[in-house]
Structures are given as C-alpha cells and as structure tokens.
Amino acid sequence: MTPGGDDVFVGGGLFQIGEPGQSTAPHRCGRRAVGIDLGTTNSLVAIVEDGAPRVLRGADGSVLLPSVVAYTPTGSGEARVVVGEEARRTAAERPRDTIASVKRFMGRAAGDLAGVAGMVPYELAGPGDGDGDRMVKVRLTDGREVTPVEVSAEILRALVARASAALGDGTAEEASSGDLDPDAPLIDAAVITVPAYFDDGQRQATRDAGRLAGLEVLRLLAEPTAAALAYGLDQGSRGRYAVYDLGGGTFDISILDLHQGVFKVVATGGDTALGGDDIDRALASRLLAAAGADRSRPGDPASPHDPALLRRALDEARAAKHRLSDAESTTMRLGEVSIPLGRADLAEAMRPWLDKTSRAVRRALRDAELAADELDGVILVGGSTKSPVVRDFVAELFGREPLSQLDPEEVVALGAAAQAHALSGGGGDVVLLDVIPLSLGIETMGGVVEKLVPRNSTIPARAVQTFTTYADNQTGFDIHVVQGERETVEGNRSLARFQLKGLPAVPAGLARVEIRFEVDADGLTRVSAHELMTGVEAAVEVKPTYGLTDEEVERMLLDSFENAEADLARRSLLTERVEAERLVAATRAALEQDAALCDEPTRAAIAAAMVEVERVAAGTDHAAIRRASEALDRASHEFAEARMNRAVRAAVRGRRVDDLAGDLAPGAGTSRETAGQRSR
C-alpha cells in the first residue's frame, strides 16, 4: 500500500457531547443517570439534584466505596459476591478470593504482569497459564477465573445499588453489603470516568464493565475534565489550567484551555500504572524486610509469597501513609515487628514515583507550548494528593499553591454527575474537547507508518487519506492499524488488522483506496477502507484485548523524541527502496511487453540503469537510491513516450475530431466528483 493524495480532517469544530442517535430526552419511568468515579482504591457515585451535583453516601455514612470485591463460598456451589468495606475487612482471611486495585489490570494482557504478580496477594493467571496476549484473569481458590471487567462490573453494581438506596429505591443493606439484585435498581445510565491516558483497550474494558453491570454508558469521561467541570470552570471561566491527578493506581496530567464553557484539552500525559499502590508496596516491602521475610525463600512462612502476610503488610502500609497526612510521625506494625515512619521517610519513599509524574508534567507543558508560570491554576485530583508530601511537591513543581476547595477524592464523581445530568436531558451546554494520547496510523510498504491522527488531536476526530496499489493486478490490501510515535512499525503498538478484498485487477498505482479513521468522544476507534472504483468496503472496530503498559507509553514517547532524526532517515530509506523496487519492476515488465519500441542502445542504457538502482537499493544511502531512480527515469523517458503515443493513437483511431472535442468539453459525460477522483 502506498499513499496517493490525501484529504485529512482532524478535530472538527466544537460539538455538543452526545452519541449519534442518542436521545436527549429525560429517562422515562423515573430512571436516572449518575456519575461514577471507578477508582483503583475507592469508587464513588454522584447525582445532580436541585441543579447541583452531590456524592451519595452508603449506609455507613461514607462517600467512598472501597474498590474491593470478595468471592465468598456459600456451600451451594456458588460464591456470594461482597463489595466494599466488608470485602476489605475479610481480605486478610481470604486473600486469594479478595480482589483489590483491579483497575490497574483493566485492558491489560497476561504478558504484561511480570513486575506485578509477586506483589498482589491473589493469584493472577499470567504467562505460562495460557495465551500471554489475552486479558489477565484472577484465579480463585475454587479454580474459577474472573476478569478485571467482571470484577469492575461488581463494583459498578454496588454503586448503582447505593444510588438506588439513597434515592429511595431499594435498601441501604443491599447497597452496603454488595449482596445485589441487578434487576432492582432503576438507575440505568451513567457517565463513567477513566484516566485521560487510558488507551483503546483500557477504555473498551471499562465500557464493557458498565454494560455487564446493566448500565447504558452515556460517555467515558476523562477524569481531569470531570474535575474541571466540578470546579465550575465551565461557568464563563477563562484560562489555562493543569489537572494533576494521582490516584491509587493511575496518574494523569492534563492541560485544559477554557473559554466560555468550551473545555479543550490541549495536552495530556501520564502513566496508567503509577499511584498510591506503588507507595503502599514500597512501604510494605520495608515492613516485610524488618520482619525477616525473604522473597528468595518461597517456603518461608514469613515470605511475602504468603498471601495473608502480604495483605496485612499492605493494609498496615496504607494505614500508616494515611496517618501521616495529619501527623509528623507514626509506627508501622506487623505482628511483633514495629518500625518508625516519619513524614520525611514517606517523602523519601515517594520520591521515585513523584519524579516520574514530574517528567510527564514537563512533557505535557511542552506539548501545550506553555511554561508553568503561564497557567492560571492547578487542580488536584485523586486520593493520593491528600498527602502533604504530594501537595508540597506539586506546589514546588508548578510554583504555585494548587486549588483545594473541593475534596480531591470527590471532585471527579461530582463532574461526572454534572455530565450525566446534561446527557440524560437535564440541560447544560458545556462543550468538551478531549485529545488522543498517542498517534494512530497504518503500515505502508516497507514497514513505514503513515500517521493519520496525530497525538493530541482533538476528539471526536476523523482522518481520511487515499492510498494506491503497489503491484500490478493487486486485488486486496492487508491493513495494519498501529498506535505510537515512531516512524516505522517495529517501534509502535499493533492495534488491529483487517483485509480489503475484491479490488479491480489494474496496473499498480491506478486503484484508489480511501482509509478513514473515526475516533468517537470516548476515544474508541473505527477504521474503514473504501475502494473508489468498485465501491468495495471493509472496516474494523479497534478492540485490542489489552492496553499499553506504563513502560511502553513512556518508551513510545521518549523514543520518538530521542530517535526522531534516525527515524526520519530510516523512513526516507524505506520509502526510496519501495519506490525504486516499484520503478524497476514496472520498467522490466514494460520492456518484456514492448521491447520493439526502443533501439538496442536505449535498451542497454535502461538495463544498466536498472542494475545500478538494484545495487544502491541494497545499501543505506537513501539519497543515492533517489539519484539512481531518477537516472533510470531519464534513461527510459523516450521509451515511455513511445508507449504513451502508441496508446493515444490506439484510443483515437477511427474517431471524428468533433467526438473528441465533445469528450474534452468541461463537465461532459462525468460529474465533478468523478473527474476529481480520476485526476488524483
């Protein structure tokens, strides 16, 4: 496949949030839409009442629902599902059947788990237990396996039950216990928030969890944008704001440009596997080391391979971290072992991860072409930003005190509720313009990537580009969709492959295939191919079974910067090689068919030029390949003219001058659209 002409449109104009065909009428029969913050450590649900969003509380009075799911045997052969605080309390007793922090595994593959599997107290069905490219699963003690999508769906069901109880539909006991009847709630729709840096696979997994929970997912809303909505920055505010979102398992940084109710995300960055969980594991490792646990001795009962011990260490580490939000020092205890922990010790433990966030912040500011002192404010989001250590770090990083009027753990759910209210017919005219975190494109001949939708393009987005065939009589295309910033395929992530068949058997370069990328408001992608002569079509919904790891995201971006010059040189080399090979093949075929149209000296000159092209094409000097190709073009120029003249004479033989004049008249016999397609 080689590029032909292009007609690219990305980012469109401003748009009202809404899905094609989606009704904007209020839900009937008392059904309502809620906003859900599906978090790594805790989750929340909120709704708009009397024109203002509020977070809904459980029977225990807490707004936070621990994102913990326990599968408890009942004796009847089926497990009872418990969600929330009760599941957290029983985690130490049944660590292999209690799943926490599952958000970090959403859209991830089993092959991505090498660095994580040893520090979770439940068993992951990873590489060696099946296909490493399939979605990760958790293996319960009864042998059953559950996916992160299923676990997340249980959390969503518990949140819906909480909302139903709070609004007078259902019972508080159902909401708090997680012993749920999925048919009872009359909450049927939701806006669910996701990290801005979630890729296609992670977003799709979140949407699937919502559907499995019986919800119509009105939209997947980026967490930083939801936070800005909650702060009321849509109410005529203007300015540029940074949203620093550090939760339990993910980190996002987004730069927003706000103008009269229009939210435009101009740059985003982050890490889908970085958050408070990492700090908990680091502190737990210190505690386990003090207790004499040695991971090199799996049989040691004090080893972190013991799930119950690991769960107690993680719980104590998290509790100690929280205590340091109010106190300067505390003590971590595990059995008879205790070690002191001060706020300075916590800062030291957090520093490697906070430094990772600072790199993402600098990159996002560079993408937005802004300096930190040009921002109008910094918004904190996520439970981890409650720590004074994080707040001090952010203040130093941006050179200003962050906004702190709203609880950073509640702010995302409040914004999601506002958006759910608008999308379910409650009014509101906020325009949200999010961006694509990594470029989307396709593979062309020679392994070169043609980027159709660049990184940080506004969504929804579409891009259209026309390609042509490489070989004579080529009747199909293999279309390879990739994601990333490198110029060649091996440096990017494969997303999907599909085929377009039934192309007309015509000479190379005559067929025209239009490739179209469409990215919806949720950041989910559809790619289609349309052959313009015959009308044959093919399409694929990009639904990868797993997402990008934090290392891959970091590598993709850093490699694209560090290797930009080398990548461009390699792209030029591959492109010149492909063109040289095509030129030699076409010239050789023409000589075999019409050798009589040129004399022996011309044939010898063309043959020598072809040999030279093939010789330099085996090397690495793309400029030399281009010069050799141009020399072959000059050597075969008269031969090409002779073939063209013969073809023209054959076309006009036996026809009257008046007929030819009529054919050449403007608009005769064809539409402007068809003429435009033929001229490309």
Specify the pLDDT at position 126.
54
**Across 157-166, 343-352, 479-488, 671-680, least confident range:** 671-680
Give DSSP secondary structure letters for 202-269: HHHHHHHHHHHTT-EEEEEEEHHHHHHHHTTTTSS-EEEEEEEEE-SS-EEEEEEEEETTEEEEEEEE
CA–CA separation, 567 and 389 (whole Å): 40
Q: Does residue 546 register a pLDDT over 80?
A: no
Catalytic residue among 103, 137, 264, 543: 103
Sequence spans of domains, the chain: 2-12+435-548, 17-231+406-428, 277-347, 565-664
The whole-number pLDDT of residue 84 equals 92
Average pLDDT value for the chain: 77
Average pLDDT over residues 227-242: 76
Which helix (H) or strand (E) segment holds residue 609: the answer is helix 600-617
Q: How far is CA 46 from the centre of its chain?
A: 25
pLDDT: is 282 or 547 the higher one?
282
Q: Which of 112, 154, 208, 245 is catalytic?
A: 245
* pLDDT value, residue 476: 82
Interatomic CA distance for residues 364 and 242, integer angstroms: 9
Q: Per the structure block, which two tokens stand in for 383?
A: 């439970």
The stretch 490-514 carries a mean pLDDT of 81
Q: What's the whole-number mean pLDDT along residues 289-314?
A: 65
* Torsion over CA: 505, 506, 509, 514 (sign): negative
Residue in 351, 363, 366, 345 with CA at minimum distance from that of residue 396? 351
Catalytic position from the list 123, 208, 223, 487: 223
What's the pLDDT band for 154 if we cut at 50, 70, 90?
A: very high
- Domain 277-347 CATH class label: alpha beta
| Interatomic CA distance for residues 151 and 137, integer angstroms | 10
Structure-token pair, residue 490 = 């091996």
Instruction: Specify the pLDDT at position 132.
Output: 44
What pLDDT, in 10s, does the model give residues 573-586?
777 888 888 788 88
At residue 205, does pLDDT exceed 90? no
**223 catalytically annotated:** yes
Report the alpha-carbon distance of residue 237 to residue 471 in Å, rounded. Answer: 56
pLDDT per position as a tens digit, 181-203: 444 447 889 999 998 777 777 88
CA 391/CA 357 separation, integer angstroms: 13
Identify the CATH class of 565-664. Answer: mainly alpha
Domain made up of 17-231+406-428: CATH architecture: 2-Layer Sandwich (3.30)
Task: Give the tokens for residue 372.
Answer: 């930190």
Helix or strand or coil: residue 431?
A: strand
pLDDT digits (tens, 9 = 90+) for 64-121: 999 999 998 766 556 788 999 999 888 878 888 999 888 888 877 666 655 555 567 7
Kindly indicate the confidence band of residue 300, based on its pLDDT and cuts at 50, 70 and 90.
very low
Weakest-pLDDT range from 166-175, 307-316, 638-647:
166-175
What's the confidence (pLDDT) of residue 588? 87
Same fold: 17-231+406-428 with 277-347: no
**What are residue 149's DSSP bridge partners?**
none
Pick the CATH number of 2-12+435-548 from 3.30.465.10, 2.60.34.10, 3.30.9.10, 2.60.40.10: 2.60.34.10
Identify the pLDDT of residue 191: 94
* Displacement of CA 618 from its chain's centroid (Å): 38
Predicted confidence (pLDDT) per residue in 26-66, tens digit: 343 445 899 999 998 899 999 998 888 999 999 889 999 99
pLDDT tens digit sequence for 598-636? 888 888 899 899 999 888 888 888 888 888 888 988 888
**Residue 173: pLDDT band with limits 50, 70, 90:** very low
Dihedrals φ, ψ of 464, to 5°? -125, 130
- Best-predicted range by mean pLDDT among 102-111, 197-206, 343-352, 497-506? 343-352
pLDDT band at 552 (very low <50, low <70, confident <90, very high): very low
Contacts (Cβ under 8 Å, ≥6 apart) of 521:
15, 17, 19, 219, 432, 434, 459, 460
Radius of gyration of the chain (CA): 30
Of the chain, the percentage scoring pLDDT greater than 70 comes to 75
Query: Quick count: other Cβ atoms within 10 Å of Cβ 77?
Result: 7
Residue 157 has pLDDT above 70, yes or no: yes
Distance spanning both ends of the chain, measured CA to CA = 16
User: Band of the pLDDT at 372, cuts 50, 70, 90?
Assistant: very high
Residue 507 CB coordination number (10 Å) = 13
Higher pLDDT, residue 271 or 418: 418
Mean pLDDT across the stretch 367-375? 91
Q: 485 catalytic, yes or no?
A: no
Most confident region among 186-190, 205-209, 329-333 by mean pLDDT: 329-333
Q: Is the pLDDT of residue 8 over 50?
A: no
Would you call 113 helix, strand, or coil by DSSP?
A: coil
- pLDDT at residue number 543: 57
Q: How confident is the model at residue 458 (pLDDT cuts 50, 70, 90)?
A: confident
Neighbours of 160 (CB within 10 A): 26
Q: Look at 261 and 473; give whichever has higher pLDDT.
A: 473
pLDDT, average across residues 295-317: 65
